[in-house]
Amino acid sequence: MVGAAPCSACVNPPTWWWILVVVEAATLVVVIPRLWRAARGGRRLHSGEATAVRISVIVPARNEAGRLAQCLAPLRNAPGVYEIIVVDDESSDDTALIARNHGATVVAGKPLPEGWVGKIWALQQGITTATGDVVVTLDADARPSTELPQAAVCALVESGAALGTVAPRFRTTSRSSQWLHAAMLTSLVYRHGAGAGRATKDAVANGQCMVFRRADAVNNGWCERVRGSIIEDIALVRMLVAEGKQVEMFDGTTLLTVQMFDGFADTWRGWGRSLSLTGVDSRRRQAGDAAITAISVVAPLWLVFGGVATPLTMLLFAVRLGTLVGARRAYERAGVGYWLSPVADLFAWVVVLRGTVAPSRQWRGRHY
């Protein structure tokens, strides 16, 4: 009789245990399809594919003297590239000089009109100036291979998409920045199936590299229609999907590397500005995703080590570890920081929550 109580407790777990099981089961129903979409990935870009179309490469740049040269150098004699246009968005450094020295046509950016956000305004000016058939846009922190523009255009033509964005391989500058960056990237995978091929109505995108036909953007006023969005790439993708257009994210991990931020603090501030997707996701969606990621990404690690895990907690924890294997190729070097990134999931969740509750409208010295 003395041992009956503990045995009964084992057979009949407390109410909170069953509540946790139900909540975890409901969360799995939501996140598994997203993870499956991400795991399938997109069409891979391949070098060596020729195209007869004229490619205009457009790089919007504001005070990018320290990074621009590495972006432009591989493009100077890139196959299929007809022109390279750098839109100097009222820089106060040597951005324009460096662009000219690397053979680019420099467009002196005009003052920002009311209602526009800086990057999409710079892209609008570049697209208007361009004379190529297809446009490839690159951020100054992109490190493209010589074959990237042509490969991206070929993928666009073969897929039949109106717009393509290119998923890169990421370069981080320290273990701590990779630790946080990988957790942030995982957040997008759980919330939106980031990395999937064909875009859905809630898709994310990568505005660091986009490819589209110039005539489509000009004739349909793409830039003007998303002119007030800080997260202009996702706003554009969702606008096109809502209109029934095909949009895809291509896998460019072998042809494009991006160094987004320098160090932990820069990663926290820089990506934290947009990670919550405020302005493109509804408040209801943001709240729901915050709850889902808390249960499926953040909690399992601590419940397992706290000794209060359910079988579904163990499954969620195993799935999270599985994402480490799946996303490894998204990094140039997956070091210790990457493999320990599940510990940073709590910090990434705080960044998303902060962006939801108190979104930042400041970027590159401008307040929107």
The answer to whether position 169 is within a domain reads yes
The answer to whether position 230 is within a domain reads yes
pTM listed for this prediction: 0.91
The answer to whether position 323 is within a domain reads no
DSSP annotation string for 165-226? EEE-EE--SSHHHHHHHHHHHHHHHHHH-TT-SB--TT----TTEEEEEHHHHHHTTHHHHT
Region label for 307, one of left (φ > 0), alpha (ψ between -120 and 50) or beta (otherwise):
left
The answer to whether position 252 is within a domain reads yes
Contact 24, 310 (CB under 8 A): yes
Distance CA 244, CA 262 (A): 38
Residues 6 or more apart in contact with residue 85 via CB below 8 angstroms: 56, 57, 58, 59, 104, 105, 106, 107, 126, 129, 130
- Name the nearest CA neighbour of 60 among 109, 111, 132, 128: 109
pLDDT at residue 188, rounded to an integer: 94
The answer to whether position 203 is within a domain reads yes
Number of separate domains in the chain: 1
Distance CA 199, CA 244 (A): 11
Domain extent at residue 104: 55-173+194-260
pLDDT at residue 2, rounded to an integer: 45
The answer to whether position 112 is within a domain reads yes
* CATH number reported for the structural domain that contains residue 125 in this entry: 3.90.550.10
The answer to whether position 290 is within a domain reads no
pLDDT at residue 5, rounded to an integer: 46
Q: Which residues of the chain have pLDDT under 50?
A: 1-9
pLDDT at residue 359, rounded to an integer: 75
Structure tokens at 261: 């931020």
SS3 label, residue 348 = helix
The answer to whether position 17 is within a domain reads no
Q: Tell me how far the alpha carbon of residue 274 is from its chain's centroid.
A: 10
Contact 285, 348 (CB under 8 A): no
